[in-house]
């Protein structure tokens, strides 16, 4: 019988966490700039994968448009740091988060009334709309993109990215695993009708979860824009980003607190290794395809479920089933009659 994680020995958990944090903080003193950049990339992907896990793994809504929020954050920072505006980098990050959160609330209000495949299509349309918008307007630099001030300091970006990702994880852990809000979100995911019957305002809870999941990639997108010094629609609003983070969450463990971090680390290192070994990423795409099939079939709770105490939720199959139900033919009158008995 499936049993959830009990959390084990809290002192042991804290000790392990302290060791990991200490090792990460000391990393720049122990390794080369190349590995610092790899670690920065892992922190970036772990953070945005977490954001997708919030809306899909916890709230049960498949978003194919999360790259929009990453792009909004990147463009907000880049636009505000242009020489004619001259904003301080740190000041741009909360602005990016607020704008992404506002867009999520605005879009989420109608879109979160949709279910399954329909919500996924709506969010995909949002990402396309944001990409088209940044391509045609002047203040984003159009398809030519924008440059950000150059800062040649790998350690700064490593610590900034790591800090942002760590804050995001701590915030999500407290909000989704240890608070009343987390139970509300998970109730909506598991059974929305039953959640309403418990007095939960499901519309509001879904919007709050969507806003939270939008603010995280916006902040990371802003840091990324400063780090890579040049952004355009093809680099920060590319749908491949959403595809990547979906795969990372599935590989790590959908709906599990630490699944995205595990998946992002595994997939980023795999991609990097294939790039270094073979000099191209075609092999990576093939590996990703095979991995997704294997995960759905044999390890629906991802790498996290390799642990003996991990909770076996099988959300992947549940969500896929829900999508199939949503596009199924309407019931006949006879079936409706049976349903109301």
Partner 1 sequence: MTVLAVDDLHRSFGGIRAVDGVTFGVEQAEIVGIIGPNGSGKSTLFNLLTGALKPDGGSISLFGQNVTRLAPYKIARTGLSRTFQIPALFVNMTVRENLWTAAVQFDWDNARANADAVLERLELTHVADDLASTLSGGQQRLLEMGRVLMQKPKVALLDEVAAGVHPRLRQIMLDAIRTLRDAGTTFLIIEHDMELAQDICDRIIVMDAGKIVAQGSFEEISHDPHVMEAYLGVSADE
Residues that bind partner 1 (CB under 8 A): 1-4, 6, 180, 183-184, 186-187, 189-191, 193-202, 255, 311-313, 315, 318, 333, 336-338, 340-341
Q: Which is nearer to partner 1, 54 or 161 (CB)?
A: 54
Smallest separation (angstroms) from partner 1 to the CB of 197: 5
Q: Which is nearer to partner 1, 104 or 195 (CB)?
A: 195
Closest CA relative to residue 105, chosen from 79, 72, 74, 134: 72
Smallest separation (angstroms) from partner 1 to the CB of 335: 11
Q: Which is nearer to partner 1, 4 or 8 (CB)?
A: 4
Closest CA relative to residue 44, chosen from 220, 243, 258: 220
Q: Which is nearer to partner 1, 155 or 191 (CB)?
A: 191
Separation between Cα atoms, residue 311 and residue 124, nearest integer Å: 30
Smallest separation (angstroms) from partner 1 to the CB of 328: 18
Q: Which is nearer to partner 1, 131 or 189 (CB)?
A: 189
Smallest separation (angstroms) from partner 1 to the CB of 326: 18
Q: Which residues contact 61 (CB under 8 A, 6 or more apart)?
A: 55, 112, 119, 206, 210
Smallest separation (angstroms) from partner 1 to the CB of 209: 14
């Amino acid at each position: 019988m499936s049993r959830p994680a009990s959390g084990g020995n809290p002192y042991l958990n804290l000790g392990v966490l302290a060791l990991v944090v200490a090792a990460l903080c000391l990393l720049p003193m122990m390794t080369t700039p190349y590995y610092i950049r790899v670690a920065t990339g892992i922190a970036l992907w772990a953070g945005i994968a977490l954001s997708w896990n919030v809306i899909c793994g916890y709230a049960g809504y498949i978003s194919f448009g999360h790259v929009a929020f990453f792009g909004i954050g990147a463009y907000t920072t880049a636009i505000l740091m242009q020489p004619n505006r001259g904003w301080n980098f740190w000041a741009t990050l909360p602005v990016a988060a607020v704008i992404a959160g506002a867009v999520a609330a605005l879009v989420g209000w109608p879109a979160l009334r949709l279910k399954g495949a329909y919500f996924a299509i709506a969010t995909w349309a949002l990402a396309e709309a944001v990409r088209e918008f940044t391509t045609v307007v002047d203040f984003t630099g159009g398809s030519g993109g924008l440059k950000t001030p150059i800062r040649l300091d790998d350690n700064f970006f490593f610590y900034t990215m790591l800090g942002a990702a760590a804050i995001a994880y701590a915030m999500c852990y407290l909000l989704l695993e240890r608070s009343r809000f987390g139970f509300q979100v998970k109730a909506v995911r598991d059974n929305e009708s039953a959640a309403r019957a418990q007095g939960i305002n499901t519309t509001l809870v879904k919007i709050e979860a969507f806003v939270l999941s939008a603010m995280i990639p916006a902040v990371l997108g802003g840091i990324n824009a400063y780090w890579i010094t040049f952004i355009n629609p093809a680099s920060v609003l590319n749908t491949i980003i959403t595809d990547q983070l979906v795969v990372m969450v599935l590989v790590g463990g959908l709906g599990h607190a630490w699944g995205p971090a595990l998946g992002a680390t595994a997939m980023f290192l795999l991609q990097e290794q294939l790039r270094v070994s073979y000099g191209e990423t075609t092999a990576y795409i093939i590996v990703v395809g095979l991995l997704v099939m294997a995960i759905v079939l044999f390890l629906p709770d991802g790498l996290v479920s390799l642990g003996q105490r991990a909770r076996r939720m099988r959300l992947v199959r549940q969500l896929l089933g829900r999508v199939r139900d949503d596009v199924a033919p309407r019931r006949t009158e006879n079936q409706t009659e049976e349903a109301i008995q």
